[in-house]
Amino acid sequence: MRIVFAGTPEFAAAALQAIVDAGIDVALALTQPDRPAGRGMKLAPSAVKQVALARGIPVATPASLNLAKGGAAAAAGQAQLRAAAADVLVVAAYGLILPQSVLDIPRGVADAGCGRITAINIHASLLPRWRGAAPVARAIEAGDSITGITIMQMDAGLDTGPMLLTEATPIRSDDTTAILTGRLAALGARLIVAALSAAQAGQLRAAQQPANGATYARKLDKGESWLDFTQDAEVLARRVRAFDPFPGACARRGESMLKFWHATALPGPSLAAAGTVLAASADGLHLACGRGTLVVTELQRPGSRRMAATEFLAGSPLRRGEVLRGRPPEPDAAT
């Protein structure tokens, strides 16, 4: 079997590495163009590009593969894909929407139930729950107890294609998006190798997604990182975990911003006005919420690194009775 692989972050790189290690021929890797990264904001290759170059796999970085939007550059990208003469396109967190014309380019492999499969996606949820860009973070934020990987046949819809393989994993009480994504990356890498092996043997069987239960995992946005302390502490603790590593959960102390990276919730009634500091001690920063108490044990101030609460409070003490706020007020449009 000969494939083209399309992906960008570490989640995808784990799958590419597993595919190569399994002896499957990767003719071409498609990934996002190099982006500025680090303190110096120097251009850096994606995780997939690094794996591909290390394994001698040709790499292409088209900005678009949509002919209507990308013009000649998109046409050149499609030409590279056709020249690769792949049986299957494997996609994982690529970052580009692929038109049907691209999905139809590979020769395809036989499915035991629905005909030719030309493109396969590794999706980090149990479809149809959490279709879209941020399934891991949204599952944590929503308080889901379980998630998993779906290997799916791609179509022109948003994660709507038939399912080929699925496997579940629990969401633990201390899982952040970073931690859970790492675990799902390993699971996805194992399942995509199993799916490709089954395809070679003519044993893949597609199943349509259930008609009910679909949800949409919209892309994370910096604007939603501000915590609203009138909400329940349990809701806020989940948001802290969901927004690690991006965009980070934020609160405002006066005119300065604080980021919260680890927090737990103590159940109970509201003990003071929302956002009030109830205690600031070795076991964390205790903040009153709409219901219950948020205990923050890892924080960060602007221009600094993440710190345990004890270290943070030693350098930036907060007093009992201080009130932290959420989103800063919008600037007056008339000024």
Query: Is the confidence at residue 38, as pLDDT, over 90?
Result: no
Is residue 321, in this structure, part of any structural domain at all?
no
Query: Is the confidence at residue 334, as pLDDT, over 70?
Result: no
275-280's contacts with Cβ under 8 Å and 24+ in sequence apart are 275/229, 275/251, 275/323, 275/324, 275/325, 275/326, 276/321, 276/322, 276/323, 277/318, 277/319, 277/320, 277/321, 277/322, 277/323, 277/324, 278/320, 279/320, 280/309, 280/313, 280/317, 280/318, 280/319, 280/320
- Are 96 and 195 in the same domain? yes
220-267 pLDDT, tens digit per residue, is 999 999 999 999 999 999 999 999 999 999 999 988 999 999 999 999
The CATH number of the domain where 77 resides is what?
3.40.50.170
The end-to-end CA distance of the chain, in Å, is 63
Query: Of residues 187 and 41, which shows the higher confidence score?
Result: 187
- Are 241 and 211 in the same domain? no
- Are 277 and 189 in the same domain? no
- Are 158 and 235 in the same domain? no
Q: Report pLDDT for 330.
A: 63
The CATH number of the domain where 301 resides is what?
3.10.25.10
Last residue of a domain, one of 186, 217, 248: 217
Which residues lie across from 151 on neighbouring strands?
122, 165
Q: Report pLDDT for 113.
A: 64
Residue range 275-300: mean pLDDT, rounded? 95
Q: Report pLDDT for 73.
A: 84
- Are 209 and 266 in the same domain? no
Amino acid at 192: I
Q: Report pLDDT for 197.
A: 94
92-133 pLDDT, tens digit per residue, is 999 988 999 999 999 998 776 667 899 999 999 999 999 999
Residue range 65-94: mean pLDDT, rounded? 92
- Are 229 and 202 in the same domain? no
Q: For the whole prediction, is pTM greater than 0.85?
A: yes
- Are 173 and 277 in the same domain? no
Q: How many CA atoms lie within 13 A of 210 on its CB side?
A: 9
Q: How far apart are CA 248 and CA 235, in angstroms?
A: 15
Each residue of 204-219: b (16+ CB within 10 Å) or e? bebeebeeeeebebee
Q: How far apart are CA 13 and CA 33, in angstroms?
A: 15
Q: Report pLDDT for 156.
A: 85
- Are 19 and 143 in the same domain? yes
pLDDT category at 39 given cuts 50, 70, 90 is: confident
What share of the chain in percent tops pLDDT 70? 97
The boundaries of the domain holding residue 35 are 2-217
- Are 28 and 127 in the same domain? yes
pLDDT category at 286 given cuts 50, 70, 90 is: very high
Is residue 136, in this structure, part of any structural domain at all?
yes
Q: Report pLDDT for 101.
A: 92
- Mean pLDDT rounded to a whole number for the chain: 93
Query: Is the confidence at residue 335, as pLDDT, over 60?
Result: no
- Are 192 and 276 in the same domain? no
Q: Report pLDDT for 234.
A: 97
Counted domains in the chain: 2
Q: Report pLDDT for 333.
A: 44
Q: For 31, phi and psi rounded to 5 degrees?
A: -150, 170
Is residue 73, in this structure, part of any structural domain at all?
yes
Query: Is the confidence at residue 40, as pLDDT, over 80?
Result: no
pLDDT category at 218 given cuts 50, 70, 90 is: very high
124-178 pLDDT, tens digit per residue, is 999 999 999 999 999 999 999 999 999 999 998 899 999 999 999 999 999 999 9
